[in-house]
Chain A
Amino acid sequence: MTTSPVSKTAPALSPDNDRLNFPQMIAIPALERRDYAMQTWLFSGVFWMVVAASIGVIEAVKLFYPEFLQGIPALAYGRLRPVHVNIGIFGFMSMGYLGAAFYMVPRLTQTALYSETLGVLTAWAWNLNLTGGVLAILMGFSKGKEYEEMPFPFDMMVGLLEIAIAGNIFSTITVRKEPRLYVSLWYILLAIIPFPIYYTLGNVMKFRGIEDAIVNWFYSHNLFGLWLTTLGLATLYYIVPKQLNKPLYSHAISFLGFWTLAAFYPWNGGHHVIWGPVPMWVMSASVTASIAMLIPTISTMVNFGGTAWGTQGVMKRDISYRFSIFAYLSYVGTSLWGSGLAIMDLNAKLHFTSTTIAHVHLGFVGFGLAGLAAFVYFYLERSLKLGYSRTLAEWHFWLTTIGVVGYVVSMGWLGWLEGSDWAAGGSVQGVLELRYWYNVARAGSGGLLLIGQLILVWNIWKTMTSPPSDGKGLDDLKLVSLNEGVSR
Chain B
Amino acid sequence: MRFIREFPIIVALSFLFGLAFTGLVLGPVFASDIAQPSAKLVAYTPIEQAGRHIYVREGCVYCHSQQVRNVKADQNMVDAYGVSKAGDYYYDLPHLLGTSRQGPDLSNEGQVWGKASGDFAREYLIGHFKNPREYNSQSIMPSYSYLSDRELEELTDYVQSLGAWKVTPDPTEAEASS
Answer yes or no: are A and B bound together in one complex. yes
Residues of A within 8 A of B (CB): 62-64, 66, 70-73, 76-79, 81-82, 140-146, 173-174, 179-181, 185-186, 189-190, 193-194, 197-198, 201, 206-216, 218, 226, 259, 262-263, 266-267, 269-270, 272-273, 275-279, 281-282, 285-286, 348-349, 351-354, 356-357, 419, 422-423, 425, 427-429, 432-433, 435-436, 439, 486-488
Nearest CB of B to A251, in Å: 11
Q: Do A356 and B69 contact each other (CB < 8 Å), given the known contacts A70-B143, A214-B25?
A: no
Nearest CB of B to A168, in Å: 15
B26-34, B113-121, B160-168, B169-177: which lies at the A interface?
Answer: B26-34
Within 8 A of A (CB), among B68-114: 69-76, 83-105
Q: Are B91 and A214 in contact (CB under 8 A)?
A: no
Q: Are A218 and B93 in contact (CB under 8 A)?
A: no
| Least CB separation from A208: chain B residue | B93
Q: Are A279 and B34 in contact (CB under 8 A)?
A: yes
Chain B residues, CB < 8 A from A488: 1-4
Q: Which 8 A-B pairs have the closest CB atoms?
A: A78-B59, A266-B20, A144-B56, A209-B89, A422-B73, A348-B71, A352-B101, A275-B69
Query: How many angstroms between the C-alpha atoms of A405 and B105 in the bound complex?
Result: 30
Chain B residues, CB < 8 A from A193: 10, 13-14
Q: Do A211 and B29 contact each other (CB < 8 Å), given the known contacts A71-B143, A189-B13?
A: yes
Q: Do A278 and B28 contact each other (CB < 8 Å), given the known contacts A63-B102, A144-B56?
A: yes
Task: Tell me if B's interface is mostly helix, strand, loop or mixed.
Answer: loop
- Interchain pairs with CB closer than 8 A, number: 230
Q: Do A179 and B2 contact each other (CB < 8 Å), given the known contacts A212-B92, A276-B97?
A: yes
Nearest CB of A to B44, in Å: 12
| Least CB separation from B59: chain A residue | A78
| Least CB separation from B29: chain A residue | A211
Q: Is B16 an interface residue (CB 8 A)?
A: yes
Query: How many angstroms between the C-alpha atoms of A79 and B144 in the bound complex?
Result: 12
Q: Are B20 and A267 in contact (CB under 8 A)?
A: yes
Chain B residues, CB < 8 A from A272: 99
Q: Are A63 and B140 in contact (CB under 8 A)?
A: yes
Task: Tell me if A's interface is mostly helix, strand, loop or mixed.
Answer: helix
Q: List 22 A-B contacts (CB under 8 A).
A: A63-B102, A63-B140, A66-B139, A66-B141, A76-B146, A78-B60, A145-B94, A173-B6, A179-B3, A186-B9, A193-B13, A209-B92, A211-B29, A218-B20, A263-B16, A266-B16, A270-B24, A279-B33, A425-B75, A428-B104, A432-B140, A488-B3
Query: How many angstroms between the C-alpha atoms of A273 and B95 in the bound complex?
Result: 12
Chain A residues, CB < 8 A from B65: 352
Chain B interface residue count, CB cutoff 8 Å, equals: 77
If A63-B140, A277-B89 are given as contacts, then 5 extra A-B residue pairs at C-beta distance below 8 Å, sorted by A number, are A201-B25, A210-B86, A348-B71, A352-B100, A428-B102
Q: Are B70 and A275 in contact (CB under 8 A)?
A: yes
Chain B residues, CB < 8 A from A422: 73-74
Q: Is B178 an interface residue (CB 8 A)?
A: no
Chain A residues, CB < 8 A from B27: 281-282
Q: Do A213 and B95 contact each other (CB < 8 Å), given the known contacts A62-B142, A269-B24?
A: yes
Q: Do A209 and B34 contact each other (CB < 8 Å), given the known contacts A81-B62, A193-B14, A275-B71?
A: yes
Query: How many angstroms between the C-alpha atoms of A353 and B74 in the bound complex?
Result: 13
Chain A residues, CB < 8 A from B89: 209-210, 212-213, 277
Q: Is B17 an interface residue (CB 8 A)?
A: yes
Q: Are B34 and A211 in contact (CB under 8 A)?
A: yes
Q: Is B134 an interface residue (CB 8 A)?
A: no
Q: Do A276 and B67 contact each other (CB < 8 Å), given the known contacts A81-B59, A190-B13, A352-B99?
A: yes
Q: Are B142 and A77 in contact (CB under 8 A)?
A: yes
Partner of A279, one of B28, B60, B61, B146: B28
Most chain A CB atoms below 10 A, which of B16, B132, B146? B16
Q: Do A428 and B28 contact each other (CB < 8 Å), given the known contacts A79-B58, A140-B57?
A: no
Partner of B28, one of A173, A189, A214, A262: A214
Q: Are A348 and B93 in contact (CB under 8 A)?
A: no
Chain B residues, CB < 8 A from A180: 2-4
Query: How many angstroms between the C-alpha atoms of A76 and B94 in the bound complex?
Result: 21
Chain B residues, CB < 8 A from A198: 21
| Least CB separation from A285: chain B residue | B23
Q: Are B93 and A212 in contact (CB under 8 A)?
A: yes
Partner of A213, one of B33, B76, B97, B140: B97
Query: How many angstroms between the C-alpha atoms of A435 and B138 in the bound complex?
Result: 10
Query: How many angstroms between the C-alpha atoms of A454 and B52 in the bound complex?
Result: 39
| Least CB separation from A219: chain B residue | B25
Chain A residues, CB < 8 A from B57: 140-142, 144
Nearest CB of A to B3, in Å: 4
Query: How many angstroms between the C-alpha atoms of A351 and B68 in the bound complex?
Result: 12
Chain A residues, CB < 8 A from B56: 142-144
Nearest CB of B to A204, in Å: 13
Query: How many angstroms between the C-alpha atoms of A259 and B15 in the bound complex?
Result: 12
Q: Are B2 and A487 in contact (CB under 8 A)?
A: yes
Q: Are A144 and B96 in contact (CB under 8 A)?
A: yes
Q: Are B140 and A218 in contact (CB under 8 A)?
A: no
Most chain B CB atoms below 10 A, which of A259, A285, A428, A429? A428
Chain B residues, CB < 8 A from A425: 75-76
Q: Are B140 and A210 in contact (CB under 8 A)?
A: no
Q: Are A209 and B86 in contact (CB under 8 A)?
A: yes
Q: Are B13 and A194 in contact (CB under 8 A)?
A: yes
Q: Is B128 an interface residue (CB 8 A)?
A: no
Q: Are B25 and A277 in contact (CB under 8 A)?
A: no
Chain B residues, CB < 8 A from A285: 23-24
Chain B residues, CB < 8 A from A353: 100-101
| Least CB separation from A139: chain B residue | B57
Nearest CB of B to A354, in Å: 8
Most chain A CB atoms below 10 A, which of B20, B27, B31, B146? B20
Chain A residues, CB < 8 A from B6: 173-174, 181, 185, 189
| Least CB separation from B100: chain A residue | A352
Nearest CB of A to B76, in Å: 6
Chain B residues, CB < 8 A from A281: 27
Q: Are B142 and A70 in contact (CB under 8 A)?
A: yes
